[in-house]
Amino acid sequence: MTQKNVVVIGAGVAGLTTAFLLSKRPGYKIVVAAKHMPGDYDIEYASPWAGANYMPVGVRGTQAAEWEKATWGPLENLARNHPDAGVHFQDCEIRTRSKDLGSATANWFSELLSPNPWFKDVVPNFRVIPREELGPGVDSATSFTSVCINTAIYLPWLVSQCLKNGVIFKRKVFQHILETTKPNVHPSGYVDLVINCTGLMASQLGGVEDKSVVPARGQIVVVRNDTGGKMFDVSGTDDADDEACYIMMRAAGGGTILGGSYQMRNWESQPDPNLAVRIMKRAIEMCPELTGGRKGIENLDIVRHAVGLRPVREGGTRVEKERIGNVWVVHNYGAGGAGYQSSYGCAQTAVNLAEEVFQKRAQL
């Protein structure tokens, strides 16, 4: 069999999951080449900053929902059978306040907030919480069992799975996508296929320059406080249309993430201290267990403040193939706030497209 030489640009959750799934197929020699690798923290690298949990937002009947549906099984399997991946089960509660209807956060969460979402038969233990059990100010709520991923463990775990399958990792910065075909990138000196997983920076990579990819700025506070094993999400806040309130505890001592914000087209990398105070106040109000019922943000034990940029693409995640110059490219970028919860679905589609490219070549 002729060796299939592939370069994956990007070592975020999209690039690593795609490389992992592709490396299970026979005949591939894969290089993952990226500016940032797991262990780095940088504003151009979204994956380390994510919570990350599985709270589907893809609207029923869309490709986004299909990708999320396809991702639940693999994540559940990791939580159940692979403790070394840093993924654990958590029960979650999703609260809706009627007054948030139409806000940026409520629009983003529209499927998640539905009492009858497509994923009710996918995740375990979905139920609509009876009215008499709702807290003050909450008009409706649902609960189900989900997962939370410790990204500091999970991203290196993906690297280790790729390494086991013979994938090569390299630090590279590309100004143009065709620079991946230079002889010093792939050990064979030749590249058949490039897989573009550059996230937000697909907006700047020469040959792609997809200006429909923009940041949705997410500010978080990581604390040592415990939620008592639950995750929370609410439809909006009283503070600003593009602020959010969610809480999740990462697996294996990864800390508790207090979020957040969803600030479109905002590239600011530094935490806003006023927003941080609002995030912490809202979190304690939503989950008093965090501080053992004590009021006041001084009862939170802060690990760090952080900001990440979700790579949002108008029209949704781009997973498609394209001929650029003399080389086939499969794109997998622009997952916005759903990069983990759609990772296996998107990566599988990208792998199928890669296989199509090589099948066509075999027929020539």
Ligand X SMILES: Cc1cc2nc3c(=O)[nH]c(=O)nc-3n(C[C@H](O)[C@H](O)[C@H](O)COP(=O)(O)OP(=O)(O)OC[C@H]3O[C@@H](n4cnc5c(N)ncnc54)[C@H](O)[C@@H]3O)c2cc1C
Task: Name the one range near ligand X by CB under 6 A: 95-103, 116-124, 200-208, 295-303.
Answer: 200-208
Give the total of residues touching ligand X (CB under 6 A).
Answer: 42
Contact 139, 97 (CB under 8 A): yes
**Closer CB to ligand X, 215 or 328, in the complex:** 215
Q: Does 236 bind ligand X (CB under 6 A)?
A: no
Residues 61-100 that bind ligand X (CB under 6 A): none
61 is in an annotated binding site: no
337 is in an annotated binding site: yes
Nearest to 158 by CA among 28, 255, 30, 21: 21
Cα distances from 44 to residues 118, 144, 152, 194, 199, in angstroms, run 33, 33, 17, 20, 8
Q: What is the largest CA-CA distance in the chain?
A: 70
Q: Where are the alpha helices (DSSP H) in the chain?
A: 13-23, 63-81, 104-108, 110-113, 151-164, 273-286, 343-363
CB of 132 to ligand X, least distance (A): 30
Q: Is 3 exposed, middle or buried (0-12, 13-18, 19+ CB in 10 A)?
A: exposed
Distance from the Cα of residue 60 to its chain's centroid? 19
**Choice from 87, 153, 201, 300 touching ligand X (CB under 6 A):** 201
Residue closer to ligand X by CB (options 70, 197) is 197
Residues of this chain, 105-164, that bind ligand X according to CB under 6 A: none
Q: In what order do the strands lie in the sheet with 327-333?
A: 168-171, 28-34, 4-9, 193-196, 327-333, 318-324
Query: Binding ligand X by CB under 6 A: which of 21, 22, 30, 46?
Result: 46
Cβ proximity to ligand X: between 65 and 358 the closer is 65
Rounded CA gap, 222 and 127, in Å? 29
- Does residue number 349 form part of the binding site for ligand X (CB under 6 A)? no
**Tell me, what DSSP letter sits at residue 47?**
G
**H helix and E strand count, the chain:** 7, 15
Site string for ligand X, 238-267 (x = CB under 6 A): ----------------------x-------
Is 49 one of the binding residues for ligand X (CB under 6 A)? Answer: yes
Q: Using CB under 6 A, which residues numbered 14 to 43 contact ligand X?
A: 14-15, 34-36
Closest distance to ligand X from the beta carbon of 360 (Å): 26
Shortest distance, CB of residue 96 to ligand X, whole angstroms? Answer: 19
Residues facing residue 28 across a β-bridge: 4
Residue 193 lies near ligand X (rule: CB under 6 A)? no
Closest CA to 262 of 284, 236, 231: 236
Binding residue (CB under 6 A) for ligand X from 340, 344, 345, 348? 340
Return residues touching ligand X (CB under 6 A). Answer: 9-15, 34-36, 45-47, 49-53, 172-174, 197-201, 205, 218, 220, 260, 308-311, 333, 335-341
